[in-house]
């Protein structure tokens, strides 16, 4: 038998020392936590990184001073005097929005693109002498400004003669195909839940009702989007990718689960708000989107120029949506010029200024971190992973540990008044309860407590100054996997 080499003996000595010190096996030998329950698709993971974007409600309603058109409006009514889609996209980018979603067709059936399938479109308007295309101009503007584009195509059409009959579905999907193939990549396709009622319907002027659960054959429509825009997410009451939060006030849920049982729902589901908070054991990952308008209405009305939400109101909406694990879809309706009104623009910029002043500097970044438990003792799951600024890394514990704490030592005492937490959501949603403490006057004091975390949770509390902070995960459905623990101090209070 050949004697051991010096290198082998040295390696054995290092290994023996590691065992004696209770050191972990090498990183690669420690498996990450197994995914728990519903988990996001790659499209959803990418969408989660766009937590704030804009809605653009614009059609004949802007010129008729209505919220819902009846379907008998003349296309000539659509006559913006100075439409500037580049202004929309520029303001969106400067305001921190990741993209814009345009109401390409609202319930009145008027199309903002020159559809080959109907005369009820911009081809027959006075705008651009009938040669304009709002969606084309917005697509080009978004591309130039480096933001994403989305489209809204109302399933209800109060203009079309065949609405409520099988032939309308062919028309609707053919329209959708135009939108999906002519304007470049889309990040979201938005399906409204309004279904049927009174309308023009090609001159019939009657009320038509449908079986909302069956008439549209949604799986076939969703399949068309998957085929033609494979990277887009789809919104409706039932997903399949993004769900309605259940209100239009800009408010998410204090406790929210990304899980939803899609099979039990359909777009336009009447009792949807009862289920909107989701369930931890549900089969499908369908995260909430908070849609709200900067004005009382969704379309521009001059009478509402003095009723635009204040910066302070927009800040509260941000914390009640993005801060509650949802994404914020903020509607900004163009005026009759075809531009965002100056008041709306000022409020958007004020919100951006506050968010920049607040979130520009994470006071916990790079802090000394320790934890009551680390998965296999492996460095790649260490407490420091929660404060390294990398959303792909995370602190995790062993499978048997579902209550644990993470402690930070800041380089110096810092003043802060809010915490932002993120789970490693590719592994599913796990945390059910947590608390944040600070060491003050020689003892630990609880600053704030919460339930779910999910994609991101931001909670505020009275400002404190401390150099030691502790996060306690008090309840979890499986071992916690925390991607971020960040501390911030609010910027100057907005008005």
Task: Give pLDDT tens digits for 110-121.
Answer: 999 999 999 999
| Regions of the chain with pLDDT less than 70 | 1-26
Q: pLDDT (tens digit, 9 = 90+) per residue, 99-148?
A: 999 999 999 999 999 999 999 999 999 999 999 999 999 999 999 999 99
* CA dist., res. 294 & res. 52, Å (int): 13
Give all domains of the chain, ordered by start, each with its CATH number: 42-359 (3.20.20.80), 368-488 (2.60.120.260)
SS3 of the chain:
CCCCCHHHHHHHHHHHHHHHCCCCCCHHHCCCCCCCCCCCCHHHHHHHCCCEEEEECCCCHHHHCCCCCCCCCCHHHCCCCCCCHHHHHHHHHHCCCCEEEEEEECCCCCECCCCCCCCCEHHHCCHHHHCCCHHHHHHHHHHHHCCEEEEEECCCCCCCCCCCCHHHHHHHHHHHHHHHHHCCCCCEEECCCCCCEEECHHHCCEEECCCCCCCCCHHHHHHHHHHHCCCCEEECCCCCCEEECCCCCCCCCCCCCCEECHHHCCCCCCCHHHCCCCCCCCCEECCEEEEEECCCCCCCCHHHCCCCCCHHHHHHHHHHHCCECCEEEEECCCCCCCCCCHHHHHHHHHHHHHHHHHHCCCCCCCCEEEECCCHHHCHHHCHHHHHCCCCCCCEECCCCCCCEEEEEEEEEEEEEEEEEEEECHHHCCCEEEEEEEEEECCEEEEEEEECCCCCCEEEEEEEEEEEEEEEEEEEECCCCEEEEEEEECCCCCCC
pLDDT of res. 23: 40
pLDDT of res. 280: 96
Inter-CA distances, 221 with 120, 123, 189, 334, Å = 22, 26, 11, 29
Angular region, 483: left φ>0, alpha ψ -120 to 50, beta rest: alpha
pLDDT of res. 13: 35
pLDDT of res. 25: 52
pLDDT of res. 29: 86
- Two tokens at 140? 């080009």
């Amino acid at each position: 038998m050949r004697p051991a080499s010096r290198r082998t003996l040295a390696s054995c000595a290092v290994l023996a020392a590691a065992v004696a010190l209770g050191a972990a096996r090498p990183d690669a030998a420690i498996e990450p936590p197994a995914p728990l329950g519903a988990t996001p698709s790659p499209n959803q993971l990418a969408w989660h990184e766009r937590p704030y974007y804009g809605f653009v409600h614009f059609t004949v309603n802007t010129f008729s001073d209505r919220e819902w058109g009846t379907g008998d409006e003349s296309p000539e009514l659509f006559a913006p005097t100075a439409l500037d889609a580049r202004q929309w996209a520029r303001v969106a980018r400067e305001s921190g929005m990741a993209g814009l979603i345009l109401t390409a067709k609202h319930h009145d059936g008027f199309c903002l693109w020159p559809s080959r399938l109907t005369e009820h479109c911009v081809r027959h308007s006075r705008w651009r002498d009938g040669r304009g295309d709002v969606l084309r101009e917005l697509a080009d503007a978004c591309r130039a400004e480096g933001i994403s584009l989305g489209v809204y195509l109302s399933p209800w059409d109060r203009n079309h003669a065949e609405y409520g009959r099988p032939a309308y579905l062919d028309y609707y999907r053919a329209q959708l195909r135009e939108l999906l193939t002519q304007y470049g990549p889309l990040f979201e396709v938005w399906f409204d839940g309004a279904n049927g009622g009174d309308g023009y319907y090609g001159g019939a002027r009657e009320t038509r009702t449908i079986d909302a659960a069956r008439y549209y054959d949604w799986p076939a429509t969703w399949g068309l989007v998957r085929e033609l825009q494979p990277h887009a997410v789809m919104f409706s009451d039932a997903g399949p990718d993004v769900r309605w939060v259940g209100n239009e006030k800009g408010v998410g849920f204090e406790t929210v689960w990304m899980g939803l049982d899609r099979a039990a729902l359909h777009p336009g589901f009447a009792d949807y708000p009862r289920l909107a908070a989701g369930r931890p054991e549900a089969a499908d990952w369908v995260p909430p989107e908070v849609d709200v308008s900067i004005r009382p209405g969704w379309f521009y009305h001059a009478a509402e120029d003095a009723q635009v939400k204040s910066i302070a109101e927009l800040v509260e909406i941000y914390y009640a949506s993005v801060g509650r694990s949802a994404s914020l879809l903020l509607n900004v309706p163009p005026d009759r010029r075809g531009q965002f009104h100056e008041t709306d623009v000022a409020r958007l910029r004020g919100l951006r200024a506050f968010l920049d002043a607040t979130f520009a500097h994470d006071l916990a970044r790079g802090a000394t971190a320790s934890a009551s438990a680390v998965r296999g003792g492996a460095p790649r799951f260490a407490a420091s992973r929660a404060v390294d600024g990398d959303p792909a890394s995370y602190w995790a514990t062993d499978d048997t540990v579902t209550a644990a704490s993470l402690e930070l030592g800041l380089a110096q005492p810092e003043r802060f008044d809010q915490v932002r937490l993120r789970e490693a959501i590719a592994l599913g949603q796990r945390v059910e309860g947590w608390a944040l403490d600070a060491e003050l006057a020689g003892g630990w004091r609880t600053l704030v407590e919460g339930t779910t975390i999910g994609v991101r949770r931001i909670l505020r509390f009275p400002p404190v100054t401390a150099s030691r902070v502790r996060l306690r995960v008090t309840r979890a459905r499986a071992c916690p996997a925390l991607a971020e623990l960040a501390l911030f101090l609010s910027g100057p209070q907005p008005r």
